[in-house]
Structure 1
């Protein structure tokens, strides 16, 4: 049965253009994606991971099903094969993933990253758009990650993590380090009765929403504001789509994460990010999900490598 999906995700081609225009190291346009024009090398330092998966939200009606499985799948079937060690991996699941803990964990991961290190950041959970308050967003909207303790208040939503905050933290990645950011989400969503999607429309009463997933524009814009480091971004879908919180082979998973890991297991470590993206898109389409994952950054670099 075809999986119909609705709503939106993050900016794609325009954001990729911003990456190039702002001089992100090693970035160039490749068929609507960005690709490395510079060299690459094996990781000589530490491989570090910061993983966030949230099914359990304190806000009524917002729970998801596949986000925790996403993180377990990534750990068991991809990061272990890449040599990521438990001591260098931080995992926040469900009610551990508060605003305070996410920001503290991400700051710690970036601060610990040195030249020659690789940082992997995976987010599976809700997010949304809210009105911009400082005038730095051309579309008048700030994108947010939604931690488990997101709550409504008299002046809007409390405990949201703004894209500006993510940009400030991730922009501290040092020169000579590289980072992969995977977000299985979209930036707003409406209800799909056949499958859940990831994103919250905060303009509506979320009590009446089925669970939906999010991605934030921070996934594409933080790199444009970063001063150093090499960034690759993989997100769940295009602007007019949503990322499925789907039932696959007997368990709930994010469609992006499931087929990203599956393509990794089949393709191996010799793939470039462009190869990996292409294989993942093909698998998602073959299984009749109407979402197309987005790739930005060092597309021509080998996966999990340092882009010089």
Structure 2
């Protein structure tokens, strides 16, 4: 019988001492983590961990990922969910790593967690392990300008709880561009050293099978909310307390169908090919 471990990370703020005074306040990320943990509980994941706000540090996240890598064997699954800000830092790993020359980050409590670091942790998982990830955040700084240009005041208020275009950065899950640049300039040596020392494999070479459903496209913003982020709230509606019966592709398509046109959740598959995993009902242990 397969074993399931789930890790749910939700940050309603970050440590301003680590981000130049910016606290990254959000409303619904802890709720997202709790609700995703409940989905995991109901789906039969016996080993579940939540890291909320101040506990959402790089050390805690990597410790839980490494513990899961030690425990899970072929046929088992890791469910990883993250709700919080997304950011970007300049890519220092080589010209073919990121076409836009930027590495995406999860904005954890004490510093940004670079996508290369995450993939490096995924390298430790055995062949045949399934990794299912759901990220309710955004990354692209160009998205702020795009949303300002395409949304009416009524649409902004519905999705971002504001009619002021200058307030969108506060009510979306993107690390403000100015803060991103300041954080990188201040800690450039740290982030550059992390990337140069990692040299993770190409993601297609991962032994595990990885499936990610993300909250939006790279040039879009993920909206926060009062109870849930827009993506997580819509996911919960589609999941319908376990009544959903399709596979991952149809799950992503149905979430996408219910989302506004300026936030389009995507499906990304990498690592060892596993078509059976893709066709499975989401959250299957």
TM-score by length of 2: 0.73
Residue matched to 1:32: none
Q: Report deviation, 1:56.
A: 2.0
Residue matched to 2:72: 113
Is 2:129 the partner of 1:177?
yes
Change (3 A) 1:300 1:148: same
> What are the ranges of 5 or more consecutive residues in structure 1 without an aligned counterpart?
1-43, 151-159, 208-220
Residue matched to 1:268: 243
Alignment counterpart, residue 235 of structure 1, candidates 214, 226, 245? 214
Q: Report deviation, 1:145.
A: 1.5
Q: Matches of 2:284 and 2:84 in 1, distance apart? A: 26
Change (3 A) 1:57 1:204: closer
Q: Matches of 2:126 and 2:44 in 1, distance apart? A: 21
Residue matched to 1:8: none
Q: Report deviation, 1:269.
A: 5.4
Q: Report deviation, 1:295.
A: 1.1
Q: Matches of 1:261 and 1:51 in 2, distance apart? A: 15
Change (3 A) 1:63 1:114: same
Alignment counterpart, residue 43 of structure 2, candidates 77, 82, 94? 82
Residue matched to 1:142: 103
Of the two structures, which has the highest relative contact order with CA contacts closer than 8 Å and spacing of 6 or more? 1
Q: Matches of 1:222 and 1:186 in 2, distance apart? A: 24
Q: Deviations over 1:212-259 (max 9, x none)?
A: xxxxxxxxx988344312221100011321111023xxx3x1111111
Q: Matches of 1:188 and 1:142 in 2, distance apart? A: 10
Residue matched to 2:264: 292
Residue matched to 1:70: 32
Contact 2:88 2:139 in 1 (8 A): yes
Q: Matches of 1:272 and 1:170 in 2, distance apart? A: 23
Give the number of aligned pairs. Answer: 231
Contact 1:184 1:257 in 2 (8 A): yes
Q: Matches of 2:243 and 2:266 in 1, distance apart? A: 20
Is 2:87 the partner of 1:128?
yes
Q: Matches of 2:245 and 2:207 in 1, distance apart? A: 26
> What are the ranges of 5 or more consecutive residues in structure 2 without an aligned counterpart?
17-21, 149-155, 161-170, 183-199, 270-274
Residue matched to 1:104: 63
Contact 1:172 1:226 in 2 (8 A): no
Q: Matches of 1:63 and 1:110 in 2, distance apart? A: 32
Equivalent residue runs for 1:1-308 within 5 Å: 44-59=1-16, 60-76=22-38, 78-85=39-46, 88-135=47-94, 136-150=97-111, 160-189=112-141, 190=144, 194=157, 195=160, 196-204=171-179, 224-247=203-226, 251=227, 253-265=228-240, 268=243, 270-285=245-260, 290-297=262-269, 299-305=278-284
Q: Matches of 2:132 and 2:266 in 1, distance apart? A: 13
Alignment root-mean-square deviation, CA: 2.6
Q: Report deviation, 1:296.
A: 2.2
Q: Deviations over 1:195-221 (max 9, x none)?
A: 1211114444789xxxxxxxxxxxxx9
